[in-house]
Chain A
């Protein structure tokens, strides 16, 4: 134990950060990645660091691990891990501490695992690097760890390669690796962000469970207040490199004091069990009727018997009325995105009918369908990939209408009007996509879809790549557009909380099939299928508050 003038503090805190400032290289949007931040991670507790993208939360984690890129430097402050000063320590000393005293799990388990090494090799590697144990003892320890993180068949798992595992299993392997040397502090950098909601719930439970069993201290980085509510003992809220608020989870979540925290909490999509009040002004006529839609992916060769057949969309049927929104929710691989692509005919279906305004569009060829394309438009998921980087915003917006015969000057006028309608200034017209933020780009994507005044909008994970505060704004914009134009929407998302906010009806998909279909009140308060119940239960954070007694339906 190091001699310290404040023994109580050191004893109490596994990790202590004081006045830490990390500089960014010159020419970046701000001078410091983090500025004068101080916090303590108490022994045997889970500390959540929450913030939106660019808040400096990952830089903090990397500084503690001593993993900062060379161009980013610590300019002042101190970090003590188990009483040992990290800043200024030699690289050799840091390397000795990594894994043994502190270790880290990452957001993307696929890229954090070495694809050419078996699971067992990756776990034993850390022990070997620190010269712990013999070959045989390392092996048995690895198997023990794999059992501990709840992987099936640990003996077999030892010899598996990462590509054979699911996302959740890979994250379990990462956790096993991090636990190898029994570190006293575990840093988790968005470990569940890339996972499905049910898997996320399992991993959160595993982390909490291990933390309790081993009395470990965990620093958990996230952008999701739902996750914070699930596991945090105390919370640090960061904005633009500064800590704006910290305290116990109870206090920060229930009575936030700082305006930013309040805004962030208010922006978190809440699961509402209330049904959306339909607009009376729009007719009840059906705009889209889907019957027995099917799509099967085939890979490999039928000739050599190595063919893999994956039914992506299997016998899907639903109706959508004018001016209403149907939410399609499901986990990755459920076929919800394939369904979206089939509906706007970016892919051809194998069977079934898509009756759009009474006509079956499923069987139309590309050239027959082209005149109808303006009526069905799509908002894409990735605001960075969905705009052509070499086109100006003006070109992106006008190219479609001009191709369908509108004069350029008219298209330009409409584009300018639409830009201001979605909340961008008309000066955006001549600029390039890279000059805009993610949220602004998504607005451009929405404007592009609205250029034709479509009657049906398909939004494929349209807010998934955005920060929560931006997410709330975009949802609001979509709602406003629907109320003004009476457009019908198919809203595809993996996030049930988002779906609960904007949808009139929700269809839950699993393995290509719709397993349940109904209004939000049914899906969230009184789910009929086991799968929906599982999904709803896995949502992090609070349970839905019902406006009517749940017991009535039980």
Chain B
């Protein structure tokens, strides 16, 4: 029953104007393709490459790209850069994506409750949002990361805690306007509980802006992870991440530039692609675009 309902929902979306608008946004499609390729490479790449990302070969240090089967060269310890890039991609994308899920969850929860309940509770929640927003988030993250033992999960939580506020604000504004719609009044008339109205009646109607915000949050989270790891507070070697690969490349910028260029390019591609997707979705959900 629910599977059929979900299926028809999907069909409906696929045939909708929103989908058509998104499909005609070329940059967003490019972004989708890039992310798909990047994810595929990160998932399958390590199995296809001849080297393990942690395998040290001191005889092959600083091999430039396209040396033998080191397609992207090697690092100061002779580890294969391609293998490390993909393993790092797994970590970075996973951290970015999980941070997005967590921050969207917190933001949506806070936004829906604040927007629907209003009153002193809404006030308290939104002032908390303002409080979090008034911290310079990068220092907040660094302070937290310095105090806590860095692990991928810790980093994810820290990034999520510093990036849920935007979602909360968007959702709160959306819910506040939806709350006055007649179908919400009708829900109250039927005697539905507040929780039911908030999450089953209102939330599905606010899903557009949430998805847009979530997509942009992934991009920001990836960037944030790279930043913290680059400064040495994030993912700790030998576990690779795009940020700490950059960190390790600093001193060899002149002699082995590919060590910086390759993870840098990966970060740029991932972040721009997510931003393109976000822009595409924003335009697709915007009715005025028609």
A interface residues, Cβ below 8 angstroms from B: 341, 344, 346, 370-371, 373-374, 377-378, 380-382, 385-392, 399-400, 403-404, 430, 432, 445, 448-449, 452
Q: How far is the CA of A445 from the CA of B187 in the complex (A)?
A: 12
Contact A373 B189 (CB under 8 A): yes
**Interface stretch among B165-173, B190-198, B265-273?**
B190-198
Contact B182 A385 (CB under 8 A): yes
Give the 9 A-B CB pairs with smallest separation, nearest first.
A400-B190, A373-B191, A386-B182, A390-B204, A388-B183, A385-B182, A380-B182, A370-B191, A378-B189
Contact B186 A380 (CB under 8 A): yes
Q: Closest A residue to B188 by CB, please name it.
A: A346
Q: How far is the CB of B187 from chain A (nearest CB, A)?
A: 8
B185 to chain A: which residues have CB within 8 Å?
341, 346, 378, 380, 386
Q: Closest A residue to B16 by CB, please name it.
A: A434
Contact A389 B186 (CB under 8 A): no
Q: How far is the CA of A388 from the CA of B179 in the complex (A)?
A: 12
Q: How far is the CB of A432 from chain B (nearest CB, A)?
A: 7
A386 to chain B: which residues have CB within 8 Å?
182-183, 185-186
Contact B191 A390 (CB under 8 A): no
Contact B204 A400 (CB under 8 A): no
Q: How far is the CA of A448 from the CA of B201 in the complex (A)?
A: 15
Given A370-B191, A403-B196, A382-B186 contact (CB < 8 Å): no
Q: How far is the CA of A184 from the CA of B12 in the complex (A)?
A: 50
Whether B127 is near chain A, meaning CB under 8 Å from some CB there, is no
Contact residues, B145-182 vs A (CB, 8 A): 181-182
Whether B5 is near chain A, meaning CB under 8 Å from some CB there, is yes
Q: Closest B residue to A397 by CB, please name it.
A: B190
Contact residues, B6-27 vs A (CB, 8 A): 8, 12
Q: How far is the CB of A47 from chain B (nearest CB, A)?
A: 34
Given A390-B205, A392-B5, A403-B196, A346-B189 contact (CB < 8 Å): yes
Q: How far is the CB of A427 from chain B (nearest CB, A)?
A: 13
Q: Closest B residue to A383 by CB, please name it.
A: B182
B interface residues, Cβ below 8 angstroms from A: 5, 8, 12, 181-183, 185-193, 196, 200-201, 204-205
B188 to chain A: which residues have CB within 8 Å?
346
Contact A385 B181 (CB under 8 A): yes
Q: How far is the CA of A391 from the CA of B200 in the complex (A)?
A: 9
A392 to chain B: which residues have CB within 8 Å?
5
Q: How far is the CA of A389 from the CA of B183 in the complex (A)?
A: 9
Contact B190 A448 (CB under 8 A): yes
* Beyond A370-B191, A403-B193, A452-B190, 6 additional pairs, beta carbon < 8 A: A346-B185, A373-B189, A391-B201, A399-B192, A430-B8, A445-B186
Contact A381 B182 (CB under 8 A): yes
A380 to chain B: which residues have CB within 8 Å?
182, 185-186
A377 to chain B: which residues have CB within 8 Å?
189-190
Q: Closest A residue to B4 by CB, please name it.
A: A430
Q: Closest A residue to B207 by CB, please name it.
A: A390
B8 to chain A: which residues have CB within 8 Å?
430
A370 to chain B: which residues have CB within 8 Å?
191
Contact A378 B186 (CB under 8 A): yes
Q: How far is the CB of B2 from chain A (nearest CB, A)?
A: 11
Q: Closest A residue to B204 by CB, please name it.
A: A390
B182 to chain A: which residues have CB within 8 Å?
380-382, 385-386
Q: Closest A residue to B186 by CB, please name it.
A: A386
Given A392-B5, A432-B12, A387-B191 contact (CB < 8 Å): no
Of B181, B192, B204, the residue contacting A403 (CB under 8 A) is B192
Q: Closest A residue to B8 by CB, please name it.
A: A430
Q: How far is the CB of B204 from chain A (nearest CB, A)?
A: 4
Q: Closest B residue to A454 by CB, please name it.
A: B189
Q: How far is the CA of A385 from the CA of B186 in the complex (A)?
A: 10
Q: How far is the CA of A403 from the CA of B193 in the complex (A)?
A: 8
A403 to chain B: which residues have CB within 8 Å?
190-193, 196
Q: How far is the CA of A242 from the CA of B183 in the complex (A)?
A: 36
Of A374, A389, A391, A430, the residue contacting B191 (CB under 8 A) is A374
Contact B183 A387 (CB under 8 A): yes
Q: How far is the CA of A391 from the CA of B193 in the complex (A)?
A: 17
Q: How far is the CB of B284 from chain A (nearest CB, A)?
A: 17
Q: Which of A392, A399, A430 has the most CB of B within 10 A?
A: A399
A404 to chain B: which residues have CB within 8 Å?
191
Q: How far is the CA of A388 from the CA of B181 in the complex (A)?
A: 9
Q: How far is the CA of A341 from the CA of B189 in the complex (A)?
A: 10
Q: How far is the CB of B15 from chain A (nearest CB, A)?
A: 12
Contact A388 B191 (CB under 8 A): no
Q: How far is the CA of A399 from the CA of B200 in the complex (A)?
A: 10
Given A390-B204, A403-B196, A385-B183 contact (CB < 8 Å): yes
Residue pairs across A and B with Cβ atoms less than 8 A apart, 14 shown, are A346-B188, A346-B189, A373-B191, A374-B191, A378-B186, A380-B182, A386-B186, A388-B201, A389-B183, A389-B205, A399-B192, A400-B190, A400-B192, A403-B192
A448 to chain B: which residues have CB within 8 Å?
186, 190
Q: Which of B182, B187, B201 has the most CB of A within 10 A?
A: B182
Q: How far is the CA of A373 from the CA of B200 in the complex (A)?
A: 19
Q: How far is the CA of A128 from the CA of B201 in the complex (A)?
A: 52
Given A346-B185, A381-B182, A388-B205 contact (CB < 8 Å): yes
Q: Closest B residue to A380 by CB, please name it.
A: B182
Q: Closest B residue to A445 by CB, please name it.
A: B186
Q: How far is the CA of A386 from the CA of B185 in the complex (A)?
A: 8
A389 to chain B: which residues have CB within 8 Å?
183, 205
A341 to chain B: which residues have CB within 8 Å?
185
Q: Which of B8, B182, B186, B200 has the most CB of A within 10 A?
A: B186
Q: Closest A residue to B192 by CB, please name it.
A: A403
Q: How far is the CB of A492 from chain B (nearest CB, A)?
A: 14
Q: How far is the CA of A386 from the CA of B193 in the complex (A)?
A: 18
Q: Which of A370, A390, A430 has the most CB of B within 10 A?
A: A390
Q: How far is the CA of A374 from the CA of B191 in the complex (A)?
A: 7
Q: How far is the CB of A219 from chain B (nearest CB, A)?
A: 30
B12 to chain A: which residues have CB within 8 Å?
432
Q: How far is the CB of B273 from chain A (nearest CB, A)?
A: 29
Q: How far is the CA of A213 from the CA of B204 in the complex (A)?
A: 57
B193 to chain A: which residues have CB within 8 Å?
403
A445 to chain B: which residues have CB within 8 Å?
186
Q: How far is the CB of A370 from chain B (nearest CB, A)?
A: 5
Q: How far is the CA of A270 from the CA of B181 in the complex (A)?
A: 32
Q: How far is the CB of A90 from chain B (nearest CB, A)?
A: 29
Q: How far is the CA of A389 from the CA of B201 in the complex (A)?
A: 9
Q: How far is the CB of B126 from chain A (nearest CB, A)?
A: 19
Q: How far is the CA of A382 from the CA of B188 in the complex (A)?
A: 16
Q: How far is the CB of B6 from chain A (nearest CB, A)?
A: 12
A388 to chain B: which residues have CB within 8 Å?
183, 187, 201, 204-205
Q: Closest B residue to A392 by CB, please name it.
A: B5
Q: How far is the CA of A437 from the CA of B81 in the complex (A)?
A: 61
B186 to chain A: which residues have CB within 8 Å?
378, 380, 386-387, 445, 448
Q: How far is the CA of A386 from the CA of B181 in the complex (A)?
A: 7
Q: Closest B residue to A344 by CB, please name it.
A: B189
Q: How far is the CB of A344 from chain B (nearest CB, A)?
A: 6
B190 to chain A: which residues have CB within 8 Å?
373-374, 377, 399-400, 403, 448, 452
Q: How far is the CA of A341 from the CA of B188 in the complex (A)?
A: 11
A387 to chain B: which residues have CB within 8 Å?
183, 186
Q: How far is the CA of A430 from the CA of B192 in the complex (A)?
A: 21
A432 to chain B: which residues have CB within 8 Å?
12
A378 to chain B: which residues have CB within 8 Å?
185-186, 189
Q: How far is the CA of A403 from the CA of B183 in the complex (A)?
A: 16
A344 to chain B: which residues have CB within 8 Å?
189
Q: How far is the CA of A399 from the CA of B183 in the complex (A)?
A: 12
